[in-house]
Amino acid sequence: MGITRRSMLRAGLAGVIAAPLVPAGESPAGRRGGFRIAHLTDIHVQPERESAKGLAQCLAHVQSLPDRGGGPPVDMIVTGGDTIMDCMEAGRDRAQVQWDLWRKVKTDHCSLEVKSVVGNHDVWGWTKAKSGVTGAEPLYGKQWACEQFGRQLPYDSFDRGGWHIVLLDSVFPHEQSYVGKLDDAQWDWLERDLAAVPTATPVLVVSHIPILSVHPLAAAAANGGAGSDGKPAFSLSGGLVHVDHDRFQRLFARHRNVKACLSGHLHIIEQIDYGGVRYLCNGAVSAGWWKGPHGGTDFGYAVIDLFDDGTLACDYRTYGWTARG
């Protein structure tokens, strides 16, 4: 699995690729319309560190953005995974407390439509040695998250604002942990889903783990190593980026209307333009798991403007939260 997420953080590489994104609302001539999404990823809500108050403040900030010529400040929220702090290693009671907290904050402080991606921390009980879960429980694995998100499958797609939006499930088990990829059933579904989208309709793909990222490359390079030919080499962690990214490249080459992929997981801001697709990793509502900024990335969320011509603008907004004990 190469570099681990923990070793990457120890190496101080959390924000090495952080970069400003294209400001939202900058609409050059010819760009009309605009469906606006607030991308709130890696919320990690928990009873500790007053994170529920932090999330409520974030939601208030989203809903108080300046309107757009009489329209709402934001049309919908997409959460990008890791909604709760963790239930992969949690027992039932701890998992229940976290999901109850998410549901209460959302009910009390959000008036917008919310769609959600499943993150690794949203999966219940895969680390059985710590969670005490057998695997036979009705809500085991992703089922609890699916119940919270109001759907049967951990992936979905829908149409909004002239765009087709795909929510992927990018987390699969690996030795009581996880790896970033799609399974065969989801690949079959995704290929059929994209084939049914008119070629003139732009597509936005949302995953928790990045499909493509430079950040794990930088982390792995810093760790060093050598290949079989003696030249410097390194391996990437399948827990940081999709191991099936090459298959995505082939798929997107057949569907040129795929315009961008949003992700979280790394708690950094990153923008890559590759093969005609923009890959945007959009920081974290929780920053450094509510302990403070993470590698130069503050508590925040992204505002995504989707325009009629298939272009988009992305802007990372901080919402004024400071770490609490």
Q: How confident is the model at residue 27 (pLDDT cuts 50, 70, 90)?
A: very low
pLDDT per residue over 96-116, tens digit each?
999 999 999 999 999 999 999
Instruction: Assess if residue 298 is contained within a domain.
Output: yes
> What is the average pLDDT across 130-148?
95
Q: Is 106 helix (H, G, I), strand (E, B) or coil?
A: helix
Containing structural domain, residue 157: 5-318
Question: What average pLDDT does the chain have?
Answer: 88
What pLDDT, on a 0 to 100 scale, did the predictor assign at position 126? 92
Buried b (16+ CB within 10 A) or exposed e, 144-177: bbbebbeeeebbbbeebbbbbbbbbbbbbeeeeb
What is the rounded CA–CA span in Å between residue 230 and residue 233? 8
Q: Is 57 helix (H, G, I), strand (E, B) or coil?
A: helix
Check whether 29 has a pLDDT greater than 60.
no
Residue 207's nearest CA partner among 146, 281, 140 is 281
CATH number at residue 93: 3.60.21.10
pLDDT per residue over 243-294, tens digit each?
999 999 999 999 999 999 999 999 999 999 999 999 999 999 999 999 999 9
Check whether 187 has a pLDDT greater than 80.
yes
Instruction: Assess if residue 25 is contained within a domain.
Output: yes
Instruction: Assess if residue 323 is contained within a domain.
Output: no
> What is the average pLDDT across 124-140?
93
Cα separations in angstroms, 258 against 113, 197, 243, 252: 23, 10, 20, 6
What pLDDT, on a 0 to 100 scale, did the predictor assign at position 245? 94
pLDDT per residue over 217-238, tens digit each?
776 666 666 555 666 666 777 8
Instruction: Assess if residue 232 is contained within a domain.
Output: yes
Q: Are 264 and 41 in contact (CB under 8 A)?
A: yes
Residues found in the chain: 325
What pLDDT, on a 0 to 100 scale, did the predictor assign at position 13? 38
What pLDDT, on a 0 to 100 scale, did the predictor assign at position 17? 35
Check whether 3 has a pLDDT greater than 80.
no
Residue 202's nearest CA partner among 162, 242, 236, 175 is 162
118 Rama class: left (phi>0) / alpha (psi -120 to 50) / beta:
beta
Percent of the chain exceeding pLDDT 90 equals 76
Find how far residue 66's CA is from the centre of its chain.
25
Q: What is the number of helices (H) and of strands (E) in the chain?
A: 8, 13
Residue 79's nearest CA partner among 103, 50, 49 is 103
Instruction: Report which DSSP code applies to 70.
Output: T
What is the rounded CA–CA span in Å between residue 313 and residue 306? 7
Give the residue carrying structure tokens 């509510």. Answer: 290
DSSP string, 200-241: TS-EEEE-SS-SS-SHHHHHHHHH--B-TTSSB-----TTTS
What pLDDT, on a 0 to 100 scale, did the predictor assign at position 216? 76
Check whether 156 has a pLDDT greater than 80.
yes
Q: Are 241 and 180 in contact (CB under 8 A)?
A: yes
Instruction: Assess if residue 324 is contained within a domain.
Output: no
> What is the average pLDDT across 210-223?
78
What is the rounded CA–CA span in Å between residue 107 and residue 101? 10
Instruction: Report which DSSP code applies to 155.
Output: -
**pTM (two decimals):** 0.89
What pLDDT, on a 0 to 100 scale, did the predictor assign at position 259? 98
- Segments of the chain assigned E as strands: 35-40, 76-79, 113-116, 156-160, 163-167, 171-174, 177-180, 203-206, 258-263, 269-274, 277-282, 300-306, 312-318
Residue 56's nearest CA partner among 109, 3, 17, 13 is 109
Check whether 177 has a pLDDT greater than 90.
no
Residue 204's nearest CA partner among 259, 268, 255 is 259
25 Rama class: left (phi>0) / alpha (psi -120 to 50) / beta:
left
What pLDDT, on a 0 to 100 scale, did the predictor assign at position 4? 46
Q: How confident is the model at residue 162 (pLDDT cuts 50, 70, 90)?
A: very high
Check whether 132 has a pLDDT greater than 50.
yes
Six token digits for residue 230:
């003696």
Instruction: Assess if residue 129 is contained within a domain.
Output: yes
Q: How many domains does the chain fold into?
A: 1
Strand partners for 166: 157, 205
pLDDT per residue over 41-66, tens digit each?
999 999 999 999 999 999 999 999 98
